[in-house]
Structure 1
Amino acid sequence: MRAAATMSGTAAASGFVLLLLSVPVVQCENVWDVRYTSTEICVPRGSTVDINCTYTSTFNNRDVTVQKTFWFIKDSNGIYVDLMTDPEYSGRVEYLCENNKCTLRISDLRETDSAVYKFRFTTNQESFTGSAGVTLSVTDLHVQVNRPVEGYYYNNAKLKCQSSCRLPDHLTYVWYKNQQKKIEGASYSDWFDSADTVSCAVKGLEDFHSPSMLVRSQRGWNVRYTSTEICVPRGSTVDINCSYTYPSRLYNHEVTVQKTLWFEENQVNVDLKTQSQYSGRVEYLCGNNKCTLRISDLRETDSAVYKFRFTTIQDSFTGSAGVTLSVTDPQLQVHVRRSTANPYPTWTELTCHSSCQLPDPLSYVWFKNNKRLVGRKKYFLLQHFNAGDNYHCAIEGHERFPSPTLNYPSDAPKVPSVSVSPSGEIMEGSSVTLTCSSDANPAAKYTWYKRRGDKTPQLLSEVTQFVLSSIRSSDSREVYCTAENELGRSSANILIDVKYAPKVPSVSVSPSGEIMEGSSVTLTCSSDANPAANYTWYKENQTLLQGPEGVYRLSSISSGDSGVYSCKSENQYGQINSTSLHLDVQYAPKVPSVSVSPSGEIMEGSSVTLTCSSDANPAAKYTWYKRRGDKTPQLLSEETQFVLSSIRSSDSGEFYCTAENELGRSSANILIDVKYAPKVPSVSVSPSGEMVEGSSVTLTCSSDANPAANYTWYKEDEDSPRASGQNFTITNITAEHGGNYRCEAQNRRGLSDASLHVTVEAVWTSAVIGSAAAAFLAAAFLAVTLLAVTLLSVFFLIRKKRNSHQSPDPGDRLDHSEQRLPNQSEEDCDLHYTSVHFMKTETDPVYSNVGSAEPSKHKEREEVVYASVNFNRSAPRTRGQDTAEDPDAFYSTVKKPSAV
């Protein structure tokens, strides 16, 4: 709340308050608490002020019923006197209370209203007062020179309107020069001569302007009066005080005060000491730039405006405003304030009140039955005001001006008697009659009220009997009646307790807003019922909690706690269910569930759908990835499903999906294993290159397949397999092993094969050649060369001899194959052609090769490896046989050794 001081009349809209200190105050047991918005407020005289507070009242963790609220002032003899009953505030005080907030509004403020104000509330348990209170200062205004410029006759100055305490900066002031309104504004600048006077007032409070001030005082000349209005009784002594200032130097001369005097405003500069009517009654008490006028044995003719003047060598100066003195009878009255309302005991407070504003402090004298009592305060407290007793008061030293005697108000209304009919329990909807009566003379006037918590009580009726024809649950609370006549007023209360079934419960969740998994959540169910209801909490049809508190707590809420909750309120008069409360627990995605469709084995070429789903609130966003070894995973899709329309063997591997919302992220993976028939096998022979009869040869077959393939080796034109497994080894190869071999790779998804051709050619060779083939071939080459030369020589010799014995026959042809070296047998003349061929194609001979063979039964032209080992023996030639010789052929003649 904001503290605000508002002004009466037209100034109310431009209210103001000075906040000097703002602190929270008072923490008490059982959470009884009063907090004031401001603890110090300063406002100008005549304005309106708002003093604000808030309060709480909890007893044993339950709110209690507040029965009464009021404000009081500190200076009241320790008694909590409601300001509404104080005659000094009559017509000027208003309470604005609602929803545990209460504002005290005081209008037409006077300087005597300066005090400490406190708030107090009463419940059915106890009463409590805010300890600190609010200090209110009601101040008057004065003009202050802010920027003086000296001149001998004229002075330019900027003036500001000030007070004894700081007022808000936003106020607007009205300025008067020589009693004439000049301008409105926060400050006033002008040229002033030595006789000009200035005063100011808050706009809207023009009736309460500051005292007029001579602008000349801006040069250091000034007179200030402690009070500008004083009211004193006849015969008393009064002190009128002032202080004054002047410049230490003027026109290069030191300033010294030579004379001081007091005078009446209507007799300018006539010293009071020289006037006969003040002879022997006037005294000046002056020193240290202060001077007090003391007038004793005051008379009504002494009522006047008094001013102070001081004179120096250079000049004289007079305070412009002066002090208005009113001399009159005190016109004292004894004011009575009485309290009989529960839970306070009956007491009476007497106040000695004057119609004029008396100076402070004054001492008072109290008399009971004309006998002086102990005490010198303005207030006098009575615990009991007995019949036959009377009281009066006077100002000490002025007992000859007493107040009228106050007698016991025996004819004022006594404490009323209140009753309700019918007695016993009051049921909702029934008819109830309330009766109020009091012994009073003259007869009392009765008024019924209903308390409304912090609000102003509600007026119900102004008759002695008040009928509630169909009482409602809302009528349950304290009602009271007042009995009043011209001699006084008294009141009594009664509590109306209506019994009724529970009303529709209200349900709430705390904290409100989004509910996060793992947080603490409280569900509260409350229902208006009398007697108090018992509560049952449900989730769907499951009972959760029963008891009088109506509070269900989930200390660490989970996603499973989401759902629809409701409560039931019940007492002996009935039961009723609340509306539903939907609890929506938000949480990060759980570990996703991943699936593949269709289930079972995944065949190459089929369509496969991967699905990812996760429990999350709010709903999760899904992303599919495929892992790629050490590489960054491959992004596949940002949908809950990922479809591979024609899956391939290369799609096998680990897939995973992520589920993510603003609260977190989770992931799960799935392994995709694509099944497929064997691919066309790859076949090979080892070792490659040159082979020797009797060596070991390994044929190898491999094929990409899932599941892994089984391998079987077949030889051409054979139904039975030669071997199983990827490798087929022939340990002692011979010419009979030559031919086509087929490898079949097979799994439950299919079969594929490939062929390999092995050619083995027989060779006769000497055992000596065995391990020294290279050396032997080199030697053989040399031998053959020599033999060829020899044979050619022999050939030409024989031919020459024959030509010499017979003539040549054209039909005869020489058979060079029949030629022998001398002394050489036919067996010794056999020629051996040794060759090792590894042929890929007929036109591209190689030593070792993997090549294409005949097409397999799968209509595929498989690559056939020809591994040929050729052992060629020349056929024996008969004499006379013509033999065509290949001029490019290389002949190696090796004598075949005899068997060892």
Structure 2
Amino acid sequence: MIEGASYSDTFDSDDRVSCAVKGHEDFRSPSMLVRSQNGWGVSYTSTEICAIRGSTMDITCTYTYPSMLDHHVTTVQKNFWFIKESNGIHVDLKTDPEYSGRVEYLCENNKCTLRISNLRESDSAVYKFRFTTNQPTGSFTGSAGITLNVTDPQLQVHVRRSTANPYSTWTELTCHSRCQLPDHLSYVWYNNNEPVGQKKYFHLQHFNAEDSYHCAIEGHERFPSPTVYAPKPPSVSVSPSGEIMEGSSVTLTCSSDANPAANYTWYKENRTLLQGPEGVYRLSSISSGDRGVYSCKSENQYGRINSTSLHLDVQYAPKPPSVSVSPSGEIMEGSSVTLTCSSDANPAAIYTWYKEDEDSPKASGQIFTITNITAEHGGNYQCEAQNTRGRSKATLHLTVAAGKSVMIMNILRLTLVVVLVPVLVWTLWTRMKKTLSLKSEANEAVEMIESHNCPEYDDVAAAAQTEDTEEQEDLV
């Protein structure tokens, strides 16, 4: 901003300009006086300065005036600094009781310095310079003034790394204040609380993770900057603590002591999950697939470090079991069979085997073996997987085929029925036919004997009767 200047008190202003790089307005150039045509003006060395509480501060200006007006040589009769006006009268700081004994003017050759010692926060104000001359209306005030902020230094350490070479570890640290401090101040740098330098800038070839740095203004070491350092090993935690149930909400937190504050990255088994300044990773409805090993990384401008691993355990009821039979394929009677049941569960499942339509369990355990299997073992078998979080079931159908020995016996039985029975029937029929023929012949002989009344034929008849009886017994 450019302000006008004037010969009379009516125009108490001066023309001054300064410049700064956009985005870095804290580092403005000293102001310059743009003198008015009539030659009156006041130029301040800066527009705004900071001072440390308890220190001594110099505020300087340069003033100009015409050497002659209306054929009269101009001479300065009085010059002073002020911050107040009362009834149009500018109050000289030397007469202000708040500044009594703390103010000194150092003026010569159109340059005047205000020195204030033992600065207080209440000294923060806009300071202006005024001078009067022997000319009838020859007073002039540099109305823009200088803004003085009295405070603690509020120093910060800024870091800048080399960008020319990606492999370079060169680092520059700057001791920076929120407002512009006087150039004459000296700085002190500390590495792990030991002094190591006395410049505003401090250069490092390598920033070790275990190192810390801070700066202060010489003579005001009681107002150091915050210490900067690389992140310390992060701590990781899970909430809620204790057992985690599937479907619940879980929060993972990563925290690390670091200055500047660290940025965090969460990983699950080397897969990046989240990056940000909070270090918090939330799972709103955790599932069995979220089980695994988690870790985080803490990082700032000075270094990075990884946390220890966090194993996240998620408990859940058994998933539907998978069941299998071995050997696979056709199951023959007399063989051995192994039934296997497997279910994803946490805690690990307990297994129980049931056969359809039977209340009592057949076996317990993941493996159920049946030896010397028979047809009665066929049917549906049910495996139940159970833990403290629930249970789940699956069914297996077992079909048993006849064994080789049984098949042979069945073939033999069939052979007997198909072949031997007809033979047996034919044999019986043949014997019966023979018996009937013999019986008929014997009866004829008896009749002949009886008809002739021959006793010698009685023995023949009796023998035929006996033979007939034995043959009938054989047939039976």
TM over 0.5: no
TM-score under structure 1 length normalisation: 0.24
Which of the pair has the greater relative contact order for Cα pairs under 8 Å at 6+ separation? Answer: 2
TM-score under structure 2 length normalisation: 0.43
Larger radius of gyration between Structure 1 and Structure 2: 1
Q: Which has the higher helix share?
A: 2
